[in-house]
Structure 1
Amino acid sequence: MEMALELVTIPALSDNYTYLLHDDRSGATAVIDVPEADPIDAALTERGWTLSEIWLTHHHDDHIQGVEKLKAKHPAAVIGARADSHRLPPLDRALSDGDTFEFGGEEVHVMDVSGHTVGHIAFHLPTSRIAFTADSLMALGCGRVFEGTMEQMWNSLQKFLTLDPETTICSGHEYTQKNAEFALTIEPDSSALKSRADAVAAARAKGEPTVPSKLSEELATNPFLRAGDEPVRENLGMMDAPAHEVFAEIRRRKDSF
């Protein structure tokens, strides 16, 4: 099934990504996170789109600091997590885990994916098979665990395993090449990972983005999703450890990589 909605990936700051989601039938346009306003404004102007909604995943400055400037030129409803509302720009709609809302004739599902921060949410559109994951699930990685616990982050990542493997994962940063180098220290014999690492390196050599990615790719190669898999456990010498402890060890190793 092809996505009925148009997705535009926009680089921002030094290594962030923001996304436009557009429904041509209604003219509705959403932006997911606002690291800075100018690239988003330029993309909207180029396409002649009117911004109607701003979806925020979490409170870190590199995901929200452009909201005020963007809204000054493009008034739009701001949507974010109720649990994080005290640290976000003023919200027109505050949502919690399990809530849904409509965009472009589709349901958008709100997922609490706390760990990187407490109150971090992802937006999932099952019909279009797309998920905006920001700094929870990332291409070949996941966000650092700043506010939550390792077990909480592992449990959050498990939520993505319930999605269609063909889901497009729209994450928040261009960290993929470094993530690939690290992943190879966890699964050095994985042919799927080696192939993906080569493709990522080639894309970056040409200045091309490595996100979005497919969930199927992450399931096959992302060590943070594979902490419960036997090859990873064996390589780490943690065959009998609970999966969340394996995940925690992988995250600790990445933090000092």
Structure 2
Amino acid sequence: MTRIDAKFAELRKAGRKAFVTYVMAGDPDYERSLEVVRGLPGAGVDIIELGLPFTDPMADGGTIQLAGQRALEAGQTLARTLELAHAFREQDDTTPIVLMGYYNPIYSRGVERFLAEAKEAGIDGLIVVDLPPEEDDELCIPAQKAGLNFIRLATPTTDDKRLPKVLTNTSGFVYYVSITGITGSAAAEAGDVGPEVARIKAATDLPVIVGFGIRTPEAAERIASVADGAVVGSAIVDRIGKGEPTEKVLEFVAGLAEGAHRG
């Protein structure tokens, strides 16, 4: 059982929805990023998605693209991102960390080496947005064998024919992308999301978490009410990018967490 599996078992027992946050590793620099990440569990975050900065983030909107650029310019690399996770683990051995990004940096490092280092650093799961199920032998299957969850994205365009393929070899949870398009580009609507979540849950026992387009505590509550939890990324990354003090960022996160946990 991974930390992700344990967290969802704990949430189910408590009758509570999950609140997941995304932040870019190394944004705006390593020290500030680590400070924010270390503060997330205390602000009510159940699972941390740690963005791996990449030069060509095709699924990300402007806010997260800029965060990746800031991180890269500050010297953030895959190795430094694993160092950041390792440093977080020195103080927190229970909060799950999902590394989210693109395959190129992992491929460049070497899959076997990367998985060993990720496991040692305390990474619990991977979301690799540009590796489809047809490429499962590339990373998904080796990751599962190494004890990491491999989390897949489902979208509004994932029809009933495609869904079983998406769910094959997926573990940890399913990440439902609530809108078509890039991150931060539109608002998620519970009325649209609810039926889609129900359709996915009819095909899997995994929790279904909804992300993209959630920017307020009220929106987090509405989305969590029709899913197993909510993810917020761009709204948090935007505040980091504007230079808000860490305590203000974490206050904002705490409000979002309260909303999601009411869902």
More strand by share: 1
Task: State which structure, 1 or 2, has the greater radius of gyration over its C-alpha atoms.
Answer: 1
Tell me, yes or no, whether TM beats 0.5.
no
TM-score of Structure 1 vs Structure 2, range by shorter chain: 0.3 to 0.5
- Relative to the length of structure 1, the TM-score reads 0.35
Q: Which has the higher contact order (CA 8 A, sep 6+)?
A: 2
- Relative to the length of structure 2, the TM-score reads 0.34
